[in-house]
Amino acid sequence: MRPHHGFHASPYRTIGDVEYATAGWVDWYNNRRLHGTLGMMTLVEFQQAHYAALNREPQPV
């Protein structure tokens, strides 16, 4: 059988198969996929850095 979109090697047979594949894709997209426009960071890394920058206490001058 040929791969289906690179994530599943055979046709989905149940709703559970679809849910499992969808959860795997979302996990990959948010936690492992490197985004060139985000400086080769994952979405999660970029979001963590963004919120860390917002929550920094002002530095005395």
Q: Quick check: helix, strand or coil at residue 8? A: strand
Asked if 56 contacts 49 with a C-beta cutoff of 8 angstroms, the reply is no
Specify the residue for token string 């060139």: 36
State phi, psi for 13 to the nearest 5 degrees.
-105, -25
pLDDT for residue 4 is more than 80: no
Considering the entire predicted model, what is its pTM? 0.63
Asked if 7 contacts 25 with a C-beta cutoff of 8 angstroms, the reply is yes
> For residue range 14-47, what is the model confidence (pLDDT) as tens digits?
999 999 999 999 999 999 999 999 999 999 999 9
Rg of the chain (C-alpha set): 18
pLDDT for residue 2 is more than 90: no
Tell me the C-alpha distance between 42 and 51, whole Å. Answer: 14
